[in-house]
Structure 1
Amino acid sequence: MLQIPISSIPLLVSLAVLCVQAVRVPQYQQLLPLREQAAIQDAWTVERLSNVPQLLKKYEVDAWLMSQKEYAEDTVFWSLKSATQFSARRRTVDLFLANAIGDASFAYNWIDNTPEVWSELRSVLEAHNVSSIAVNADTDISFSSGLHAGELEKIVQELGPKWENKLVVEAMVGVEFIATMVPGRLEWYHRLQETAWAIITEAFSEAVIEPGVTTTDDVRWWMRDKIQHLNYTTWFMPDVSILNAGDPFSDLPIAERKIIQYGDLLHCDFGVTALGLNTDTQHMAYVLYPGETEEDIPEGYLGGLKQVNRLQDIVKSNMKVGTTGNDILKTSLEHMRNEGLGHSAGTLIGMFNLQEGVEVLGDLPLLNNTYYSIELSAEYFIAERNQTMNFYQEEDVYWNDETNEWDWVWGRQEKFHLVRPPVDGVFRIQGL
């Protein structure tokens, strides 16, 4: 799946207790047997491919050509392949047509390492009077730059000058194809996101964390084991850190990771993968001292979480379909400043080090058939610590056709996860 982070100024994330609206508790969602998963994924792929002719017409190209060899796949290949394909074979060539003539197919695929590939390809191009051929050779956008240099040279060599002159680069063809999420995917995306929340909820609890003993590295590896136990996988190593006035994303060596203590404010960056879909979530947790309850969480922490939630609302409200990421960033920043607040295929709305706009990626339009990750952070002064801290938050959103607005895929954190003190002095560490 395609996941594109939406960042903001030093805005910071926070986490919530796992219940977004009081009683809703995330549950682990069991995956289907692999054979059934493959059938679902292949049906989604067929549906996505059926939209390719309209996509090519939208960007005014006659054809779209991809060529790759095993171990050197085009970026788009992973969205084209069947669920039982694990790599390209020999030379794998795909051609799609915007205007197939008569009853001819709009999609062609060759898996061969003989000259017949190129002669047959030329015959199809001739038969359909193709005048422009999109190739994935963009210089800036990774989703449309997967054509390897040697393979492009081979295409030019085999097709000859006539067809070389018809090759064009239209980055949005690859971007929009990868980014397009067909309706049937949403139900499973909900399930994946709920599972991610459930893992975070258990990880950030006394079932896993014993203050004074458990390290942040213990928790991140527990999360990895839990993912595997559930037959999911992930697309990045979970990150768990103790928040302070510093940067939680500094990738400290394992030896420098701290033991979790009472009163710590914890942060995680976490995602799961299944059925070709990825999630991405950042949450926070508070470690209660013995004798403390939720009512004892420092007011400064609660204020930081509320501020981050407000920033989420501002960014989400400014995510207008068709608007570029840079325009959304500019509008959101103006909105934030007026309120006195601090500040994967598709557009990028700012980055932590590029708060006034992002070249190229920030100029892409926001699409309504894509899942986006709203990733931001907020600075907030914590009176109890006499220092300004960063609060991080990240949640995935989808376009809701019924309400005509962006909705959270499963929810957004509005309360801290809580690591509660032991009962009768005894911790009960929960296994997998």
Structure 2
Amino acid sequence: MLLRKFIAILSFFAPRVVSTKKPEYQHLPPLREQAKIQDSWRQERLDSVPALLEKHGVDAWLLSQKEYAEDTAFWSMKQAVQFSARRRTTYIFFAEHLVESKNCTFQSWIDITPAVWTELEHVLEACNPKSIVVDTDPQIAFASGLHAGERDLIVGQLGPYWADKLVNKPIVPVEYIGTMPKSRLGWYRKIMETAWAIIDEGFSEKVITPGKTTTEDVEWWMRDKIQALNYTTWFQPAVSILGPQTVIGPPNTPGARPIAYGDLLHVDFGVTAMGLNTDTQHLAYVLPPGDKEKDIPQGIIDGLKAGNRLQDLTRANMKIGLSGNEILKNILDNVHAEGLEGQIYSHPIGDWGHAAGTLIGMAFLQDGVTVLGDLPLLKNMWYSVELYAEHYVPEKNATLNFFLEEDVYWHDEKESWEWVYGRQERFHLIKPKEKKGLFRIQG
């Protein structure tokens, strides 16, 4: 029995490349158990801060926020049972050399009286940091969470001596928020499998009746399914009927025509659970009566293959340490060298749907992204490989955009980005519903 359990654990954490089994719904544990799991991840992340500060050559990191006016980084530091900061919540972290030489450990206060500033000043005097990071970056959301009024109060309460030591170092909060503990991956795979399972059922004849069901109907079915599973989401599902040069935008407006036989469908979909977010884009084909998978027009099949090739080139060029803009240029050089066309707009994911870290392109910004695209790519992050391939489909005498998105994680042993759950290599199929026969009872 113990051997079987050990093998099962190893198989669960083994890397996966392409999912071949039918995805299944993964049910979440009771809330109390979820909180224990999330708090263990939290502690693992907080324990990493001294080394992070040492790595980036700063001595301390100060965060302070009032209830409902939280620093963005707070949401990656809070306990599972915290729903906001309380009163004034203040944290101070110290780099490894101060932890080791002066025993300057993490301190926190929940207080709305001036005593917090007196106690903080005593801690600073004992540790004497030469630089104190505060999250005041003007460009990067994850590094700009210190509210202006709170900063003014800190400067006024601590005085000019300590105010002169406050520095903006955006890579500190970006790397803290963006780095994923390895212990999170097992649950992330389960949550990702659930996202796939919802798409798989939503893009089937169980939900879609050609000539009747609209894209909006499918979107709301997905929302209801998410809620029924006790998950939530970070954006409204967006289902589209793909035509020539379709550009994916907000969810479809009411009144869209019903889905028809022969339609090529697209969904942009994500779920949220246990503080984790997924982001997936898949394609489906509505089989006309009498058709099988082999009857899908070859041009449409080739479009999906072109999208898969762009995924390969994106992963291969995601080199640790390069900026997102450098990676984007290398990807597109490879794409064009192979005679392919498309756009790359990949982003970090994890605590947030669009999480902290460098951007590898944005839609219609294929020459680079200012500021965010200049950040380095860091390992132990998760990324959404998001893109589309432009491919001419002879059967439709049109060029279609084949939108795909899958999440990846950094695999230390392989030194490569691997799919969290898998990637789409075959279309979801909406099959014609079989008509039930009529039987007559002979008297």
How far has the Cα of 1:181 moved from its partner? 0.7
How far has the Cα of 1:224 moved from its partner? 0.8
State the distance in 2 between where 1:250 and 1:235 align: 16
Taking structure 2 as the reference length, what is the TM-score of the superposition?
0.90
Change (3 A) 1:160 1:21: closer
State the distance in 2 between where 1:171 and 1:202 align: 42
Assess if the C-alpha contact under 8 Å between 1:101 and 1:128 holds in 2. no
One-letter amino acid of the counterpart of residue 203, structure 1: G
1:164-175 correspondence to structure 2 within 5 Å: 164-175=163-174
1:1-20 Cα offsets, whole Å, 9 max, x none, are: xxxxxxxxxxxxxxxxxxx9
How far has the Cα of 1:395 moved from its partner? 0.3
* Structure 2 residue 385 is the aligned partner of structure 1 residue 374: yes
Query: Deviating runs (4+, > 4 A) in structure 1?
Result: 20-23
Q: Percent identity?
A: 59
One-letter amino acid of the counterpart of residue 105, structure 2: F
How far has the Cα of 1:100 moved from its partner? 2.6
State the distance in 2 between where 1:405 and 1:89 align: 41
Find the counterpart in structure 2 of residue 49 from structure 1.
Answer: 46
State the distance in 2 between where 1:246 and 1:404 align: 36
How far has the Cα of 1:251 moved from its partner? 2.7
Structure 1 or 2: more helix by fraction: 2
1:305-354 Cα offsets, whole Å, 9 max, x none, are: 00000000001001111111111101111111111111221110011111
State the distance in 2 between where 1:383 and 1:296 align: 15
Find the counterpart in structure 2 of residue 7 from structure 1.
Answer: none
Determine which of 384, 389, 399 is the counterpart of 1:388: 399
One-letter amino acid of the counterpart of residue 170, structure 1: K
1:222-371 correspondence to structure 2 within 5 Å: 222-251=221-250, 254-343=253-342, 344-371=355-382
- Higher relative contact order (CA closer than 8 Å, sequence separation 6+): 1
How far has the Cα of 1:258 moved from its partner? 2.6
275-284 or 20-29: which moved more? 20-29
State the distance in 2 between where 1:21 and 1:314 align: 16
1:90-239 correspondence to structure 2 within 5 Å: 90-98=87-95, 99-100=98-99, 104=103, 106-239=105-238
How far has the Cα of 1:256 moved from its partner? 3.8
State the distance in 1 between where 2:328 and 2:251 align: 30
242-251 or 332-341: which moved more? 242-251
Assess if the C-alpha contact under 8 Å between 1:240 and 1:266 holds in 2. yes
Change (3 A) 1:207 1:105: farther
* Structure 2 residue 401 is the aligned partner of structure 1 residue 421: no
Partner SS for 1:100:
helix
153-162 or 254-263: which moved more? 254-263
Partner SS for 1:255:
coil
Unpaired runs of 5+ residues, structure 2, are 1-16, 343-354, 438-443
Find the counterpart in structure 2 of residue 59 from structure 1.
Answer: 56
One-letter amino acid of the counterpart of residue 47, structure 1: E
One-letter amino acid of the counterpart of residue 77, structure 2: L
How far has the Cα of 1:255 moved from its partner? 2.4
One-letter amino acid of the counterpart of residue 377, structure 1: Y
State the distance in 2 between where 1:95 and 1:241 align: 47
State the distance in 2 between where 1:327 and 1:379 align: 22
How far has the Cα of 1:248 moved from its partner? 4.2
State the distance in 1 between where 2:263 and 2:198 align: 20
One-letter amino acid of the counterpart of residue 143, structure 1: F
Find the counterpart in structure 2 of residue 13 from structure 1.
Answer: none
Find the counterpart in structure 2 of residue 87 from structure 1.
Answer: 84
One-letter amino acid of the counterpart of residue 63, structure 2: M
How far has the Cα of 1:110 moved from its partner? 0.7
One-letter amino acid of the counterpart of residue 201, structure 1: D
Assess if the C-alpha contact under 8 Å between 2:19 and 2:423 holds in 1. no
Assess if the C-alpha contact under 8 Å between 1:138 and 1:144 holds in 2. yes
Assess if the C-alpha contact under 8 Å between 1:377 and 1:392 holds in 2. yes
Unpaired runs of 5+ residues, structure 1, are 1-19, 427-432
Partner SS for 2:254:
helix
Change (3 A) 1:171 1:315: same
State the distance in 2 between where 1:251 and 1:128 align: 51
